Amino acid sequence: MANFKLLFLLFFICTSGLMAKDYTKKREVRVFIDQMVKQHKFNRSELNRLFSHTKFQKKALAIYVPSLRPKVKASKKVHKKQGSWDTYEKIFLKESKVTKGVSYMHKHRNTLAKAYQKYGVQPEYIIAIIGIESHYGVNRGKFPVFDILTTLAFEKNRRKRFYKSELKAFLLMTRREKVNPKNVMGSYAGAIGLGQFMPSNYKTFVVDFNKDGKKQMNHPSDAIGSIAYYLKRHNWRKREPVATRVTYPGTRYRGKKTGYKHKYNRASLKGITPKNKFNYRDKVHLIKLKRTSYDELWYGTKNFYTITRYNHSNYYAMAVYQLAQRIKSKYQKTYGKSLR
What amino acid positions are annotated as catalytic residues? 133
307-332: string of b/e by CB count within 10 Å (b at 16+)?
bbbbbebbbbbbbbbbbbbbbbebbe
Contact assessment for residue 285 and residue 300, using Cβ atoms and an 8 Å cutoff: yes
Report in angstroms the alpha-carbon separations of 68 from 7, 12, 29, 50, 222.
16, 11, 22, 25, 37
Report in angstroms the alpha-carbon separations of 212 from 105, 170, 179, 208.
22, 21, 15, 7
User: In 3D, which of 149, 171, 174 has the Cα closest to residue 161?
Assistant: 149
20 beta partners: 55
| CA–centroid distance for 330 within its chain | 24
